[in-house]
Amino acid sequence: MILVFLGPPGCGKGTQSQFLKDTHGFCHLSTGDLLRTEVHSQSQLGLQIASTINNGLFVNDQIILDIIKKSLEQAETRDVLFDGFPRSLVQAKALDNVLDEQNLKIDCVVSFSIAEDALVDRITGRFNCVDCGRVYHEKNNKPQVEGICDTCGGKRFVSREDDSKESLEKRLKIYYESTYPLINYYKEKGLLIEIDSSQNLDNVKSQIVSVINRF
């Protein structure tokens, strides 16, 4: 199954992606995680990506496409979840072509909706495991054991530099200009399912499981 998660920054895409990875064995392709891995390598490309991300902007399409192609080819399962990609109609059409080359197609697109004022609370409370990138929240999604990552056991955590109110405003502007049109694109293809992500985590998880059980 090929699944795509759409939604503004802070809507819960990463949290729900991790849930499907842990419980259903999905290969979680998060462009954010893939790009951060490159940034941590301190390569020239990584430094370029870091500057772009820290300014609240999106990374060049071709860079992301190359990373996605490589990751898709290396995936050990055909149950793949795209989180944070595509972010534009150009990327969406390019992804269709990449999948077609491998005799794959998108089965379902989940669009998460949430009020903007709630996004500020979610974004400013987020923090990540330094070692594996897993996302947590200081109020509603803490590690099961305080100070220890549920996924890798890491003990180092950090708040992302772009998780500020000012950066969020920039990212939301770009989202509504570039990514929001994808909702109609996938709706016209009959692939779109909308979920209100302002609900509690368990309700959202239950709805997502109901969606994937259809396939």
The domain spans of the chain are: 2-116+166-212
In sequence order, what are the residues at sequence separation of 6 or more whose Cβ sits closer than 8 angstroms to the Cβ of residue 213?
none
pLDDT of 67 reads 81
Residue 127 host element (H or E)? strand 126-129
Higher pLDDT, 28 or 115: 28
pLDDT of 71 reads 84
User: Regarding beta strands 27-30 and 80-83, do their DSSP bridges make them parallel or antiparallel, or are they unpaired?
Assistant: parallel
Catalytic choice (21, 87, 122, 134) = 87
pLDDT of 178 reads 82
pLDDT of 10 reads 81
171 is catalytic: yes
pTM recorded for the entire structure: 0.74
Quote the mean pLDDT of the chain: 88
Strand partners, 147: none
Minimal CA–CA distance to 9: which of 152, 179, 130, 155? 179
What number is the average pLDDT over the span 77-89? 91
Burial (CB count <10 Å: 0-12, 13-18, 19+), residue 84: buried
pLDDT of 122 reads 78
How far apart are alpha carbons 28 and 41 in whole angstroms? 20
Catalytic choice (21, 122, 126, 134) = 126
Catalytic choice (13, 21, 122, 134) = 13
Cα–Cα distances (Å) from 6 to 42, 83, 121, 129, 175, in that order, read 29, 7, 19, 23, 10
Structure tokens at 50: 């870091």
Over residues 113-168, the pLDDT tens digits come to 888 777 877 777 889 899 988 888 888 789 999 999 999 999 999 987 767 777 77
Burial (CB count <10 Å: 0-12, 13-18, 19+), residue 122: buried
pLDDT band at 106 (very low <50, low <70, confident <90, very high): very high
Judge whether 85 is annotated as a binding position.
yes
Judge whether 176 is annotated as a binding position.
no
How far apart are alpha carbons 38 and 47 in whole angstroms? 8
Judge whether 91 is annotated as a binding position.
yes
Judge whether 86 is annotated as a binding position.
yes
How far apart are alpha carbons 178 and 21 in whole angstroms? 27
CATH code for residues 2-116+166-212: 3.40.50.300
